[in-house]
Amino acid sequence: MKDVIVIGLGAMGSMTAWQAAAAGASVAGVEQFTVGHSRGSSHGGSRIYRQILFEGKEYVPLARRSLDLVMDLERRSGRPLFTRSGGLVIGTADGPLIRDTLASAAAGEVEYEWLEPGELRRRYPQHAAFDDDVAVYEPGAGVLRPEACIAAAVAAAERAGAEIRTGSPVEELRVADGHVEVVTGGETIRAARAVLATGAWGLDLLPGFSLPLRTQRSCLSWFRAATDPAEYGPARFPRSSGRAARWTDGASPTSTARASRSASAARPASAGWTGRRTTGTTPPPRTSRPSRTSAAGRSPA
């Protein structure tokens, strides 16, 4: 009998299996496809990493700890898993996105810089910013390679003694007398505990467990740079988030993307840093909302 069986070896399951095995538990990890396959949520070449989490400041310590673990994994695997590129959150100074970003940065004591509209345009001309756009720059943000992270975590789990099975869809999960039973390929694996890391397949193994969840397909897209690709590389172009209002106040994503490309093509790269550093402090409150006079050259969020 195992201590833990982890069902699903995407981003969540692979890291869980690694950490449980590293903590000394006897672990089985079961994946229906292959390690790092393209059919789950963790596929593709890149994922944003940031510690400023406008989704909720309570996530900041978790994000900080997760980067420590990824860097540990990078050292163990000898493969590049994380590239620091810095990160930008762009929006109006009095809008909810920037407000929540600053609250998260302050609560988590995350280092950041405040960029006024002119400074945002000077430093990052690749973005066709609105006249009233400000930005919060997070120097510690960057990009993770999810498939490589999963492969490295599974390898680390195996080195720590985990038994990994791929091509093994779990057909049934039963709670028995003080333990769980997992049926895969006609075999039953017993464990003290099961971790369900099945992502979008989440409730398949829990019939009778009802949650108002809906599975939705979500795709990654990459764009070819119209100008020098180095302008969009990690040294010059931080990972970015912007306000969704750009897509709802008249510009469709398609026209937005087109406008952004032509705007970037027409603009030269700016040189150097001219920013005023206000690390860890909140910018002065705005008394009135700046006018939005230029709607041309919008970029997608």
Q: Least Å distance between CB 74 and ligand FAD?
A: 17
Using CB under 6 A as the binding rule, whether residue 201 contacts ligand FAD is answered as: yes
Among the residue ranges 42-50, 103-111, 119-127, 249-257, the one whose residues contact ligand FAD (CB under 6 A): 42-50
Using CB under 6 A as the binding rule, whether residue 153 contacts ligand FAD is answered as: no
Using CB under 6 A as the binding rule, whether residue 200 contacts ligand FAD is answered as: yes
Using CB under 6 A as the binding rule, whether residue 42 contacts ligand FAD is answered as: yes
Residue number closest to ligand FAD, CB atom: 10
Which residues, numbered 2-31, are part of the site for ligand FAD (CB under 6 A)? 7-13, 30-31
Task: Give which of 13, 12, 11 is closest to 182, Cα–Cα.
Answer: 13
Q: Of 2, 47, 145, 243, which one interacts with ligand FAD (CB under 6 A)?
A: 47
Q: Least Å distance between CB 84 and ligand FAD?
A: 15
Q: Least Å distance between CB 196 and ligand FAD?
A: 9
Q: Least Å distance between CB 46 and ligand FAD?
A: 7
Using CB under 6 A as the binding rule, whether residue 242 contacts ligand FAD is answered as: no
Q: Which is nearer to ligand FAD, 17 or 128 (CB)?
A: 17
Using CB under 6 A as the binding rule, whether residue 32 contacts ligand FAD is answered as: yes
Among the residue ranges 69-77, 123-131, 200-208, 246-254, the one whose residues contact ligand FAD (CB under 6 A): 200-208
Task: Give which of 140, 131, 119 is closest to 274, Cα–Cα.
Answer: 119
Binding site for ligand FAD (CB under 6 A): 7-13, 30-33, 40-42, 47-48, 169-170, 197-201, 204-205, 218-220
